[in-house]
Amino acid sequence: MVQGVAFHDGRYMPAEEAKISILDPAFTRSDVVYDTATVWKGHFFRLDDHIARFFRSCEGMRLKPPHNAAEIKSILAECVDRAGLEDAYVQFVCTRGPFVDLANRDPRNCKNGFYAYAIPYIWIISKEKQDRGARIAIGSNRRIPDSAINQRIKNFNWMDLSRGVIEAFDRGYDHVVLLTPDGRVAEGPGFNVWIIKDGTLKTPKDNCLHGLTRRTVFDFARELNIPAVEVDLREEDLYNADEVFLSTEGGGLMPVGQVEDKIYGNGGPGMMTSQLRAEYWRRREAGWMGTKVTSLIAREPVVA
């Protein structure tokens, strides 16, 4: 049984008991947006940025969650606290909600739903694989481009990403990166992609979620005087890079040792990547840009 607590419709429950209606087009049509925040050592990271991105995603799909920002923050904190988690993966979701009239199925007048849950922290790529350098495949299928779905809206239309993961795992790789239909680097299932070339950090400018860890890397770069740019990257840029890493809330800055047949250095984490990764975890441990979970809870904390 997964340790975790979920919230829906004014009620907290064990995460495994939370259910969504089969009549909700969130289920039948992926008509749903979401956000994922994490908690490390009892602190949310960039929580206000996550909430702001969530509301932007909702607006992008003309969804109106039934809770405001302050209520959502306290719901998320309750989920984490009730689950008794110090390090947590926290997801919150706005669904379209069942159609009012099945004859015309108008998405505009559905009563939108809100769900949230906290479960133990998830490493998209395990720490052990990160330490030896992740091995990444390029998917044979393409990522849905912005022209079809604005990927800045955080969405669950993951069939392209899931297909890529299955293929990469079948081929013995740790994870996958997808290209756009016109051959530019897009992103992977739950992470952004970075290359380091001649001391400059480079990441795709579009056809990807603008991750908050990605934003954190830009923040570090500014502070540490490292050039960092958003550009179009092609597959060859990955093979010609000095270092490659991935960024996500679910694992931080994840070093890549290999993309397809190309091995970087000795296949382990690159030097600049290692420095940035250490900086990321040093700051997370210290609660940098953090909001203490218990500071958002009005009542006495639940003792697990």
Ligand X SMILES: Cc1ncc(COP(=O)(O)O)c(C=O)c1O
- Report strand pairing: 252-259 vs 134-138: parallel
Our CB check for ligand X shows the closer of 110 and 136 to be 136
Q: How far is the CB of 187 from ligand X (least distance, A)?
A: 4
Nearest CB to ligand X, comparing residues 12 and 54 = 54
Tokens found for residue 194: 């970075």
SS3 category, 241: coil
CB closer to ligand X, 247 vs 273:
247
Distance separating alpha carbons of residues 74 and 70, to the nearest angstrom: 6
Q: What is the largest CA-CA distance in the chain?
A: 61
Q: Is 78 in the site for ligand X (CB under 6 A)?
A: no
For ligand X, the binding residue among 212, 217, 253, 254 (CB under 6 A) is: 212
Contact 121, 161 (CB under 8 A): no
- E strand or H helix at 77: helix 69-83
Among 25, 133, 145, 190, indicate the residue that binds ligand X (CB under 6 A).
190
24, 81, 187, 243: which one binds ligand X (CB under 6 A): 187
Q: Which is nearer to ligand X, 78 or 187 (CB)?
A: 187
Q: In angstroms, what is the minimal distance from the CB of 209 to ligand X?
A: 4
Site for ligand X in 141-170 (CB under 6 A): none
Whole-angstrom CA distances from 31 to 78, 148, 162, 268 are 26, 14, 17, 40
Site residues for ligand X, 222-281, by CB under 6 A, read: 247-249
Distance in Å from the first CA to the final CA of the chain? 16
Report the residue from 5, 47, 209, 217 that binds ligand X according to the rule CB under 6 A. Answer: 209
Q: Pick the stretch among 72-80, 172-180, 183-191, 198-206 that binds ligand X (CB under 6 A).
A: 183-191
C-alpha distance from residue 84 to each of 270, 289, 303, 304 (Å)? 36, 22, 7, 5
Stretch of 209-217, 220-228, 232-240, 286-294 lying at the interface with ligand X (CB under 6 A): 209-217
- Nearer Cβ to ligand X (14/250): 250
DSSP labels for 142-205?
A: PPPPTTTS-TTS-B---HHHHHHHHHHHHTT-SEEEEE-TTSBEEEBTTBEEEEEETTEEEEES
Number of residues that bind ligand X (CB under 6 A): 14
Of residues 248 and 258, the one with the C-beta less far from ligand X: 248
Is 48 or 106 the residue whose CB approaches ligand X more closely? Answer: 48
**Footprint of ligand X (CB under 6 A):** 36, 187, 190-192, 208-209, 211-214, 247-249
